[in-house]
Structure 1
Amino acid sequence: MAYHSGYGVHGSKHRTRAAPDPPPLFDDTSGGYSSQLGGYPAPGADVAFSVNNLLGDPVANMAMAYGSSIASQGKDIVHKELHRFVSVNKLKYFFAVDTAYVAKKLGLLVFPYTHQNWKMQYSQDVPLPPRKDLNAPDLYIPTMAFITFSPEVLGLCASTALVWVLMEVLALLLGLYLATVRSELSTFHLLAYSGYKYVGMILSVLTGLLFGSDGYYVALAWTSSALMYFIVRSLRTAASGPDSMGGPAPRQRLQLYLTLGAAAFQPLIIYWLTFHLVR
């Protein structure tokens, strides 16, 4: 207690008390938090408090469960639609090749005239993979041929060739639909048959670069005729399923025209995409 000596109004000496400390402007709320520099709460305290309240709220739990269910259903729908258009298992079938198959298939593409049996082989109604059946179409050879055909110098030509292949596949799908052909031909099958033209394109260009324009036209004529024969025999055998045998004559003629049209298109596109590469 502090005392102060002084005189009153009438000159009498008396003692006075010191004034009390002023009240604080804000209440001290730091007791509810752990000791931190500057009086701030511990890191994560508010987050933990909010999470605990959220987990303890049944409405929030139901909302979280419903949201997870919706996300899971959306994921399943996307996966199902993707599997509908691009099946990984079906795609693996067209790349199931080995060295022996590649060598024999290249020989068949260059010289198909002595080949007798063009039917695809099955095991319990499942087609055998290419490495076990030479007649099975594959995407390995077209893919490797396209990569070989598309260095930087030939980039524009390769891009144009890819566009033409896609247009050709769409045209074949439309033709098969209009001809009401019921067969096991899928988009991958047609893409494989259309992609075999890259082999003829590479052989023609290489021959032209080595032997000039005369060698180019000789190689073009040979590879084109071989590819046309290969396409006709392969597509006729693949498209002539049990449902199409003995069908109406107009349908059979339409199937024949479709096959011949697809075969006749091959040398035209090979020449159009490669003639300017050989001077």
Structure 2
Amino acid sequence: MAYHSGYGAQGSKHRVRAAPEPPPLFDDTSGGYPAQPGAYPPQGSDVAFNVNHLLADPMANVAVAYGSSIASQGKDMVHKELHRFVSMNKLKHFFAVDTSYVARKLGLLVFPYTHQNWEVQYSRDVPLPPRQDLNAPDLYIPTMAFITYILLAGMALGIQKRFSPEVLGLCASTALVWVVIEVLALLLGLYLATVRSDLGTFHLLAYSGYKYVGMILSVLTGLLFGSDGYYVALAWTSAALMYFIVRSLRMTSVGTDGVGGPAPRQRFQLYLTLAEAAFQPMIIYWLTFHLVR
């Protein structure tokens, strides 16, 4: 019996089959997502469609333009009214200070008796900023002194086990209200006296806010040395502040219009200045006596 030389050669009933390829581990997505029935559209396509449709609508464009114009007009009106009541350039002038000015002005508030020249300096009919003129009023020291007074009041109340947010808020609001009342009273007095002076609202706020420096010193001395030290510091700071206000306001209000004016007007201006100075110790005592025990 003859045998073929190879198994599975041509003409044989048995043929060798090729092994099937294994299925891929991941689907090929390089060609993009196939369009399948019921599939969701890509995320954001409906939003883009709605925005494009809205922008293509003429009525929508008119509404957007009208809304933008109203917003811009409202913004201009707000800025106009703000600048009408508060001049930002003037406000920046009262905060134009430096470290040297602050140190010298604090020394002047505590010991003003050796100061000689109290006139505010001008350059081309424009008052010099506080950092160039020690006599110029500023709002930096009153603002920082007010914040320091509130913090010191909270510390004093905490030491005495009487601290609460309500009491601290009452101290802050009371101090602020007294300053507002004082400024309004001065403005009314100047209006009734028909005084032509350079004193404005910011000037009066500055002179009224200097009392916070004396209040801080009085409370600190009272916390360190008791009630006796508090009354000594209160007397000293009150006398210094009264002298400072009389010399400053007299040169500013009376000095510009009182010279050569009617005698009753001069007396009224002088009485107004003295009343403002005499009112300071009472406010300082009222706002600080309950903090020292």
The secondary structure found in structure 2 opposite 1:240 is helix
Instruction: Give the direction of change, closer, same or farther, for the CA distance of 1:54–1:216 in structure 2 (3 Å limit).
Output: closer
Work out which of the residue numbers 175, 195, 220 in structure 1 matches 2:189: 175
Q: CA deviation at 1:84?
A: 2.4
Q: Which has the higher contact order (CA 8 A, sep 6+)?
A: 2
Q: CA deviation at 1:69?
A: 2.0
Give the stretch that moved more between structures: 130-139 or 118-127. 118-127
Give the stretch that moved more between structures: 113-122 or 179-188. 179-188
Q: CA deviation at 1:82?
A: 1.7
Q: Tell me how far apart the structure 2 counterparts of residues 111 and 197 of structure 1 sit (CA, whole Å).
A: 14
Instruction: Give the direction of change, closer, same or farther, for the CA distance of 1:131–1:40 in structure 2 (3 Å limit).
Output: same
Q: Tell me how far apart the structure 2 counterparts of residues 215 and 54 of structure 1 sit (CA, whole Å).
A: 75
TM-score by length of 1: 0.77
1:105-116 to 2 correspondences below 5 Å: 105-116=105-116
Q: CA deviation at 1:43?
A: 5.8
1:214-253 to 2 correspondences below 5 Å: 214-240=228-254, 242-253=256-267
Instruction: Give the direction of change, closer, same or farther, for the CA distance of 1:229–1:49 in structure 2 (3 Å limit).
Output: same
The secondary structure found in structure 1 opposite 2:212 is helix
Q: Residue 211 in 1 paired to residue 211 in 2?
A: no
**Letter of the 2:150 counterpart:** S
TM-score by length of 2: 0.74
Q: What is the match of residue 77 of structure 2?
A: 77
Q: What is the match of residue 132 of structure 1?
A: 132
Q: Residue 268 in 1 paired to residue 250 in 2?
A: no
Q: Tell me how far apart the structure 1 counterparts of residues 239 and 258 of structure 2 sit (CA, whole Å).
A: 27
Q: What is the match of residue 142 of structure 2?
A: 142
Instruction: Give the direction of change, closer, same or farther, for the CA distance of 1:272–1:35 in structure 2 (3 Å limit).
Output: same
Q: CA deviation at 1:42?
A: 6.1
Is the Cα–Cα contact under 8 Å of residues 36 and 42 in structure 1 kept in the other structure? no
Give the stretch that moved more between structures: 155-164 or 171-180. 155-164
Is the Cα–Cα contact under 8 Å of residues 201 and 274 in structure 1 kept in the other structure? yes
The secondary structure found in structure 1 opposite 2:82 is helix
Q: Residue 104 in 1 paired to residue 107 in 2?
A: no
Give the stretch that moved more between structures: 243-252 or 137-146. 243-252
Q: CA deviation at 1:88?
A: 3.1
1:16-95 to 2 correspondences below 5 Å: 38=38, 51-52=51-52, 54-56=54-56, 58=58, 60-95=60-95
Q: CA deviation at 1:128?
A: 1.2
Moved over 4 A (4+): 34-37, 39-60, 241-244
Q: CA deviation at 1:63?
A: 4.2
Give the stretch that moved more between structures: 132-141 or 36-45. 36-45
Is the Cα–Cα contact under 8 Å of residues 137 and 189 in structure 1 kept in the other structure? yes
Instruction: Give the direction of change, closer, same or farther, for the CA distance of 1:45–1:148 in structure 2 (3 Å limit).
Output: closer
Work out which of the residue numbers 271, 286, 292 in structure 2 matches 1:257: 271
Q: Residue 201 in 1 paired to residue 215 in 2?
A: yes
1:4-19 to 2 correspondences below 5 Å: none
Q: CA deviation at 1:85?
A: 2.6
Deviations 1:164-197 (A, max 9, x none): 1122112212222222222222222111111111
Q: What is the match of residue 5 of structure 2?
A: none
* Number of aligned residue pairs: 246
**Letter of the 1:72 counterpart:** S
Q: CA deviation at 1:97?
A: 1.4
Identify unmatched segments of 5+ residues in structure 1.
1-33
Deviations 1:101-154 (A, max 9, x none): 111111111111221211111222222111110001112222222222222245
Is the Cα–Cα contact under 8 Å of residues 254 and 266 in structure 2 kept in the other structure? no
Give the stretch that moved more between structures: 234-243 or 217-226. 234-243
